[in-house]
């Protein structure tokens, strides 16, 4: 019995010593317990610098120019449980949305009980404000009663805006900005091609004669 007990205790002490040794080696190799970074980090995640430009994709003007009111009708199905959009439609959980584009925020339906977050927001439902509202209602007006989380797709937001514009119109669509050609690049503007050719211009008679002159014929044409 004593031999078995001694053997067991020996294994226990050996395991503890092995674990302690492994922990010391790991701390030395991985700098455990130290605030210093290892010489060669395993994973270094580089965050973009504050203020760095982010490619946000097409602009709202581009999305509106290429969007479709027909596609927006399918997106509006998500809104139809709370809103009507036809002229004279009844208010639901949310107000009727006929002619909302261009109207004042939080007051376009007289008598509707808007939240103070909207009624006190100010401004008008232009395309930029409507796009921001559809992206995140709570982000646009913190405290709004609207529980919809928002549309993450810029294309969906542009399409639904175009659909809403079919019911009551709206402001003129924003113009798409065309990037100017970089310095040294040839433009496609009128007059941007090659300059004038030196020499006197040919007269009408000379030009007609040149067109009717015999053309040179190769001495050994193909196929002979």
Nearest to 167 by CA among 89, 92, 87: 87
User: What does the pLDDT look like over 141-172, one tens digit per residue?
Assistant: 999 988 889 999 999 999 999 999 999 999 99
Q: What is the largest CA-CA distance in the chain?
A: 129
Domain encompassing residue 104: 60-165
Instruction: Specify if 28 maps to a domain.
Output: no
pLDDT of 143 reads: 92
Instruction: Specify if 107 maps to a domain.
Output: yes
pLDDT of 17 reads: 72
Instruction: Specify if 5 maps to a domain.
Output: no
Q: How many domains does the chain have?
A: 1
Instruction: Specify if 185 maps to a domain.
Output: no
Give mean pLDDT, residues 76-91: 93
Residue 148: give its domain's CATH number.
1.10.760.10
Instruction: Specify if 47 maps to a domain.
Output: no
Instruction: Specify if 68 maps to a domain.
Output: yes
Burial of 69 (0-12, 13-18, 19+ CB in 10 A): middle
User: What does the pLDDT look like over 177-190, one tens digit per residue?
Assistant: 877 666 655 555 55
Phi/psi for 104 (5° steps) reads: -70, 140
Confidence of residue 25 (pLDDT cuts 50, 70, 90): low
Q: How far apart are CA 44 and CA 95, in angstroms?
A: 50
User: What does the pLDDT look like over 120-140, one tens digit per residue?
Assistant: 999 999 999 999 999 999 999
Q: How remote is the C-alpha of 197 from its chain's centroid?
A: 48
Q: pTM for the full model?
A: 0.58
Instruction: Specify if 172 maps to a domain.
Output: no
**What percent of the chain stands above pLDDT 70?**
59
Nearest to 100 by CA among 2, 198, 196, 167: 167
Give mean pLDDT, residues 185-198: 53
Instruction: Specify if 45 maps to a domain.
Output: no
Q: Could you give the C-alpha distances from 12 to 2, 4, 15, 108, in angstroms and in order?
A: 15, 12, 5, 80
């Amino acid at each position: 019995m004593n031999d078995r007990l001694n053997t067991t205790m020996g294994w226990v002490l050996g395991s503890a010593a092995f674990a302690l040794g492994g922990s010391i080696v790991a701390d030395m190799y991985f700098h455990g317990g130290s605030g210093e970074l290892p010489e060669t980090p395993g994973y270094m995640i580089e965050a973009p610098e504050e203020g760095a430009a982010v490619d946000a994709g097409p602009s709202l003007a581009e999305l509106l120019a290429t969007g479709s009111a027909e596609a927006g009708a399918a997106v509006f199905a998500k809104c139809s449980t709370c809103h009507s959009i036809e002229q004279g439609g009844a208010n639901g959980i949310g107000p009727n949305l006929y002619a909302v584009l261009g109207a004042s925020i939080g007051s376009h339906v007289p008598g509707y009980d808007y939240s103070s977050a909207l009624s006190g927001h100010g401004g008008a439902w232009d395309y930029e404000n409507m796009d921001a509202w559809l992206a995140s209602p709570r982000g646009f007006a913190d405290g709004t009663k609207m529980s919809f989380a928002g549309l993450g797709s810029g294309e969906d937001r542009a399409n639904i805006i175009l659909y809403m514009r079919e019911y009551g119109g709206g402001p003129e669509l924003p113009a798409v900005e065309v990037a100017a050609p970089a310095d040294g690049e040839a433009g496609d503007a009128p007059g941007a091609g090659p300059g004038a050719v030196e020499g006197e211009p040919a007269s009408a008679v000379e030009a007609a004669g040149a067109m009717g002159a015999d053309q040179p014929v190769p001495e050994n044409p193909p196929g002979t």
